[in-house]
Chains A and B, each alone.
Chain A
Amino acid sequence: MLEQALSGVKVLDLTWHIAGPYCTKLLADYGADVIKVERPGKGDPARAMGPFFKDDPHPEKSGLFLHLNTNKQGITLNLKSATGKKILKQLAADADILVESFSPHVMPGLGLDYQTLEKVNPRLVMVSVSSFGQTGPYRDFKASEIVEYAMGGEMYSTGIAGREPLKLGGNVIQYQAGTVAAVATMGALYTAEDQGTGQHVDVSIMETQVGTADRRIMYVLSYIMAGVITTRWPPPREAVRMLIMPQGVYPCKDGFVNTLSLPQWWPRYIEALGMPELKDDPRFQNIYSAEAGMEFDAIWYSWLADHTKDELFEIFLKSKIASAPVNSPEDLLKYTQLKAREYFVEVEHPETGKVTYPGAPFKMSESSWKIRRPAPLLGQHNEEIYCGLLGYTGEELIKLREGGII
């Protein structure tokens, strides 16, 4: 069996919701041993968020939680109790990495700030993922996916002219922050493993947006370097057109396709449409003509209406035009390329049985991505961790349970 890249890395996971858990999922799926710490009773709030298996709002049936917490062991621990804090320090003493995603005042308020944990374990990498960072005037502000996208991300130019700015679908900003946090965590792990020095890593979701996400970094720099304000655009049909060729999303027989054009691609479109006569058509001799673009649209729309999105994908592939169908999640599950690469995986879970999950974000030839266990039930590994790892007796475990500590 191939060893996993992060085998032997011990992670203490105090994260909840999406961003932090996606960071620790990446670590766990590539081999790290992640212990997820949840509050007794309710656990991670993601357990209360849908979609739920068969629409049953049960804490062990949240698709969001199940997806985000694969390969993690789960324990419950009340961090507000003195014993809970003591246990957390014991766990931190043995961990390589601690990731948390509370509001910045929470860990210091619990007496579990980096300065304290550093004394317990000088090699500890502590990663804090928060909405605005551990410092600054917005430090304690509340945020949500739409707030992060509005302030950090490029919501201002998402959508169309004359309408309100539009949020990206789902919770992609949180996932992106989690991915960036995983990069930051690995960087700090390097320093800890090579130089024996732990440290505190401060990940601000807002900064992960301004510094990267979608086109934000480029648009911000375009303002700085050239004074450009990038705003919402008219839809393609009314767009200020600069080429004959289409750009954007267009309707076809059974849905929509997205297509992109570069000035040198006009011959490719002629080939794709199977209309060689366009080459010498006097209307289409200047590819930078917006008027010609409008003329071309008449031909383009009726041609598209005769083809399905999958047929169009194959045609454009052959002609080397960057184009793709606008897929639904259902289309993705049925997509031949993903099937051929065995992307989706089935995961067996005690409350849901076998369910299909998204698979490996990348394939490594020597160190695999794999599902070793499904997301933990709330407190599923209490006995294993408290008795097996920390050496508590069965009786002590009962006392901890009775005391509401776990």
Chain B
Amino acid sequence: MRVPPDPLPGEPLLPEPDDAARETLGRVVAGLREQAHEHGNRLHGVAGLLALDDVAAARRALEEQAREQHERFEAITSRVAVPELVGVLVATSVVAARRGIRVTLEDAVALDALPDGLDALAVATVLGRLVDDACAAVASLAEDRRWVRVGVAVADDAVRLVVVDGRLPDPALRRRWTTDRRRRGRGATVRVQHDVEPSATTTTALVRR
């Protein structure tokens, strides 16, 4: 029987603490850089509209920018209260948006805190990797397939991360499968399932104390 490939080849899913901090910080910085680029670009455009004396269009562009920013940020901060996860979600959605990929939270998400003893940076890193992986998978697909939905939920002493993306089924991945990785001294277990639904691909990670 064919064994499905590892969804994150070559990378252990759960990083060492220092690596998690570095990786998550890197992801957030990339998001900030992208955001600064986007803002700079938009302001350049607005300045151009004003130079063309099109005040109405300049105003529309500024309002749209403000609305987009607010919606993007508000949609995440109103439902996730863990700063590390907010940082990664905002950053990955900003970077993805520039590549024409929509990253959104599932409607049901409402996360006040992680279970006691669970390292927020480790969770943020796993989440960042799953979202990056999903974005990379849909980046070259048609526009209506370039989307990623993220679910985050606490289940007893664990947190369940569910990332659904617009990939169509891959027969090689049709079988449900699981990998477990344990690290001595880290107190966490990650379980990944790679499900293929009729019209989307779901990856689930369970990060446990």
Whether chain B is bound by chain A comes out as no
Q: Which residues of A contact B (CB under 8 A)?
A: none
B residues neighboring A (CB under 8 Å):
none
